[in-house]
Amino acid sequence: MTGEGSYERDRTYLTTRITADGRDGYPVEPGRYRLIIARACPWANRSAIVRRLMGLEDVLSLGIAGPLHDERSWSFHLDPGGLDPVLGIERLQEAYFRREPGYPSGITVPAIVDVPTGQVVTNDFERITLDLGSQWAAHQRDGAPDLYPERWRDEIDDVADKVYRDVNNGVYRCGFASNQQAYDKAYRSLWERMDWLEERLGGRRYLVGDTITEADVRLFPTLVRFDAVYHGHFKCNRQRLTELPALWAYTRDLFQTPGFGDTIDFAQIKAHYYVVHHDINPTGIVPLGPDTRAWLSPHGREELGGRPFGDGTPPPPPPPPERVPAISRSQ
């Protein structure tokens, strides 16, 4: 938090990379690493999506922290005995402390842990997805899409930077502002960008080019949480996502695309925000709505053309232990 009441995200990360050539001391090796996410967290959601799209389930195991945590960090309270079954730890903090005793920055997800040492290798969420799509190429499934095609990289980076500043982080700047002036500024920036996105997506199926790219992977986790959390809880309430025709159809299109909606657990998302943020929601009451059935309604975006996976193919269903509760049409 700045002296002016604006929320500033701590972007101090462990930037060690896991690469094909092992340049940082951590070569890509099947079975050596464990990706830790939380279903609640939008930043971790990106890694879960890319891991699915790349088909890395058999080479990079997945640990899932529960939606609740305290000042000591994310915990594995949903796992038997409250311990991650591979790492044997109660809280993700333990893996950070094994890397750096008393680690002073945020204990964040996603994080990739080196299983033999139990140490976090990286929590650099932007680099993680890029590396899963490139450095892990030898272990990707046949038909894995190219989410960061070279010819579109400058535009992907530009769009993703705007989305990060005003939308991904913008909703937090609204929610955690400590005075009216800071909130007003964040709110205006958010909605200027949302209007820009609504216009951009009015005539094109995806943010950049005619296929799903990193830009879409970065926007989706915020939009899918918008009505359930950010609209009310973070006071981003000019309109609901369902009131923005292009953005609502775009997000439903992605939600119904394999690798996206099958990473979303709305119950865990709501439990995290409404229970953990005591200063915003001191009662800890979790809302029952909104009705999720609309996520399965036709979106009509196929009329805009585009090829979701480019020259690739959809990923198969997630392995049974990683499946999220399905939305019921008769809810």
- Residue 116 confidence class, pLDDT cut points 50, 70, 90: very high
Note down the domain range covering 179. Answer: 150-322
Q: Are 34 and 60 in contact (CB under 8 A)?
A: yes
Q: Torsions phi, psi of 140, nearest 5?
A: -75, 155
Supply the pTM of this predicted model.
Answer: 0.97
273 is an active site residue = no
- Out of 7, 26, 33, 41, which one is annotated catalytic? 41
**Catalytic residue of the set 172, 183, 206, 274:** 172
Q: What is the pLDDT of residues 24-71, one digit of tens each?
A: 999 999 999 999 999 999 999 999 999 999 999 999 999 999 999 888
Residues 307, 161 share a domain: yes
What is the number of domains present in the chain?
2
The rounded percent of the chain whose pLDDT value lies above 70 is 98
**pLDDT tens digits, one per residue of 117-156:** 999 999 999 999 999 999 999 999 999 999 999 999 999 9
Write down the mean pLDDT value for the chain. Answer: 96
Question: Cβ neighbours of residue 74 under 8 Å, at least 6 residues apart?
Answer: 36, 38, 65, 66, 91, 92, 93, 107, 109
- Indicate whether 207 and 292 sit together in one domain: yes
Asked if residue 26 belongs to a domain, the reply is no
Residue 7's pLDDT is what? 84
Q: What is the mean pLDDT of residues 97-116?
A: 96
Is residue 63 located within the same domain as residue 193?
no
160 and 253 share one domain: yes
Residues 161, 135: one domain?
Answer: no
Query: Quick one: pLDDT band at residue 329, thresholds 50, 70, 90?
Result: low
Residue 104 is assigned to a structural domain of this protein: yes
Q: Is 250 a catalytic residue?
A: no
> Residue 328: which pLDDT band, with cuts at 50, 70 and 90?
low
CATH value at residue 282: 1.20.1050.10
Q: Has residue 275 been placed in a domain? A: yes
State the pLDDT confidence band at 5, using cuts at 50, 70 and 90.
confident
Same domain membership, residue 194 and residue 317: yes
Q: Copy the structure tokens of residue 269.
A: 């998302």
Whether residue 331 is predicted with pLDDT greater than 60 in this model: the reply is no
**Residue 12 resides in a domain:** no
Does residue 129 form part of some domain? yes
> Is 300 part of a structural domain of the chain?
yes
**Domain end position, chosen among 139, 171, 204:** 139
Q: 101: domain CATH number? A: 3.40.30.10
**Model confidence band, residue 321 (pLDDT cutoffs 50, 70, 90):** very high
Residue 3 has pLDDT above 80, yes or no: no
Query: 180-200 vs 153-163: helix axis angle to the nearest 10?
Result: 140
Report, as an integer, the average pLDDT of 176-195: 97
Share above pLDDT 90 across residues of the chain, in percent, rounded to a whole number: 93
Same domain, yes or no: 309 and 164: yes
Q: Is residue 205 located within the same domain as residue 236?
A: yes
Q: What is the pLDDT of residue 2?
A: 53
Give the pLDDT confidence score for residue 238 in this predicted structure. Answer: 98
pLDDT-derived band at 23 (thresholds 50, 70, 90) equals very high
118 and 176, same structural domain?
no
What is the rounded average pLDDT of the residues 151-163? 98
If you average pLDDT over residues 280-304, what whole number do you get?
A: 97
Query: Among 116, 139, 162, where does a domain finish?
Result: 139
**Same domain? 162 vs 302:** yes
* 314 lies in some domain: yes
How high is the pLDDT of residue 280?
96
**Same domain assignment for residues 170 and 262:** yes
Question: Where do we find the tokens 């070279």?
Answer: 150
Of 139, 173, 191, the last residue of a domain is 139
Q: Answer yes or no: is pLDDT of 1 > 50.
A: no
| Alpha carbon separation from 86 to 9, 33, 35, 252, 293 (Å, rounded) | 30, 10, 11, 34, 35
| Contact of 190 with 25, CB cutoff 8 Å | no
Tell me: do 77 and 118 sit in the same domain: yes
The answer to whether residue 91 is domain-embedded is yes
pLDDT digit string, tens, across residues 220-279: 999 999 999 999 999 999 999 999 999 999 999 999 999 999 999 999 999 999 999 999
